[in-house]
Amino acid sequence: MKHVKLRDLDVARIGLGAMGMSHGFSDSGTDDAESIRTVHRAIDLGITLIDTAEIYGPYINEELLGRALKGHRDQVVLATKFGLVSHAGAGPWNLDSDPANIRTAVEGSLKRLGTDHIDLYYQHRVDPGTPVEETAGAVADLITEGKVRHFGLSEAGPDTIRRAHAVQPVTAVQSEYSLWTRGIEDRILPVLRKLNIGLVPFSPLGHGFLTGTVRNEADFKEGDFRRGNPRFTGENFQCNMRIADQVQTIATDADATPAQVAIAWLLAQGDDIAPIPGTKRVHRVEENTAADHLQLTSEQLDRLSSLPPAAGDTHPEAARRMLER
Ligand SMILES: NC(=O)c1ccc[n+]([C@@H]2O[C@H](COP(=O)([O-])OP(=O)(O)OC[C@H]3O[C@@H](n4cnc5c(N)ncnc54)[C@H](OP(=O)(O)O)[C@@H]3O)[C@@H](O)[C@H]2O)c1
């Protein structure tokens, strides 16, 4: 697998998102043994960057990774996130990037992950109640102490990125970016490139939609976050099918699968980008990793870049307000 640099952090250019193993999808948490096999297969295939967060579960996704990584810790670049659990306050799904909260969060993550350091520690969402300079300063202290190696932000706006970076250099920003979610291209990517910050696109497969395997919204069970997501509901869902169908057509043309095409298009956007497709299945991590070898033609890339825009927002209103602050 080819490697890229996220600033000064070397990673294989396709990573693994672990969230869905425990959280978010209809069948999350139903087969931990297969999830652990998937992590091991990912490592065999050369994947290094593995992504989780304390909020996934909450906590159980980090615990699962802690079990999976026993004996493999040194082979991976382990990324987790703080800031969506307020430990002394209102609990999960409450923004809190106060330095004291970060101190509590990091100890919990280290314990659950079974490690003495986190390679890449992201603020999960910007906390308007805490100046980002204070958050960056708290992570800088953790870096000095050796508990954290690199600082990241997720879904932060351009000013926040600049302000945080001035206090503690930001290694990577993790934001949603895929064939049907391209909002960061105008406002965020140029800032990252100017400051030499890497990009980790999350949900590179459009939460599964771009793979063409999501055909019916009735399949989403209680607890599947796509149930309330504007892109996956009602008329928008039907309208967005044309995007998945066109990705399938180009995939057939490229003798590849739609998932591979979606990943290869992202890889073609720069050598400062490392997407983290999520899967909990061995055969899919094999399929997704093979995108490393897929060379799309410029005509195929152009067709992918010209897909129709998606109908519906990426998030419901309350969650959308937390983006790009
Ligand atoms: N920073 C943030 O705020 C944020 C938000 C969301 C996600 N993330 C991170 O990004 C990672 C990926 O995002 P995501 O899970 O939302 O979306 P994704 O990677 O776009 O898609 C994952 C979905 O696609 C399915 N899938 C994976 N490979 C497939 C293939 N080859 N063919 C058909 N289906 C396939 C998975 O099902 P199976 O698991 O059953 O294969 C899962 O349902 C997460 O794990 C998480 O680490 C971060």
Distance from the CA of 295 to the center of ligand 1, in angstroms? Answer: 22
Alpha carbon nearest to ligand 1 atom 14, residue: 203
Ligand 1 pocket, residue 35 CB under 6 Å: no
Residue 317's pLDDT band, with cuts at 50, 70 and 90, is confident
pLDDT value at residue 192: 98
pLDDT tens sequence across 27-86: 999 999 999 999 999 999 999 999 999 999 999 999 999 999 999 999 999 999 999 999
Q: DSSP for 63-116, please give it.
A: HHHHHHTTTTGGGSEEEEEESSEETTTTEET-----HHHHHHHHHHHHHHHT-S
Distance from the CA of 231 to the center of ligand 1, in angstroms? Answer: 15
pLDDT value at residue 247: 98
Residue 321's pLDDT band, with cuts at 50, 70 and 90, is confident
Which atom of ligand 1 is least distant from the CA of 281?
A: 41
**Cα–Cα distance for residue pair 107/116, rounded to 1 Å:** 9
Displacement of CA 140 from its chain's centroid (Å): 22
Ligand 1 pocket, residue 202 CB under 6 Å: yes
For 310, half-sphere exposure in the C-beta direction (CA atoms, 13 angstrom radius) is 22
Q: Is the pLDDT of residue 324 over 80?
A: no
Q: Is the pLDDT of residue 265 over 80?
A: yes
**Closest alpha carbon to 124 in 159, 99, 97:** 97
Ligand 1 pocket, residue 97 CB under 6 Å: no
Ligand 1 pocket, residue 207 CB under 6 Å: yes
Mean local confidence (pLDDT), 96-116: 98
Distance from the CA of 224 to the center of ligand 1, in angstroms? Answer: 12
Distance from the CA of 206 to the center of ligand 1, in angstroms? Answer: 7
Q: Is the pLDDT of residue 325 over 80?
A: yes
Q: Is the pLDDT of residue 296 over 90?
A: yes
Mean pLDDT of the chain: 97
Q: 319 or 32: whose pLDDT is higher?
A: 32
State which of 16, 36, 202, 266 you would mutate to test the pocket of ligand 1, scoring each by most atoms of that ligand within 8 A of its C-beta.
202
Q: Is the pLDDT of residue 319 over 90?
A: no
Residues identified as active-site:
56
- In the chain, what are the domains? 3-208+266-296 (3.20.20.100)
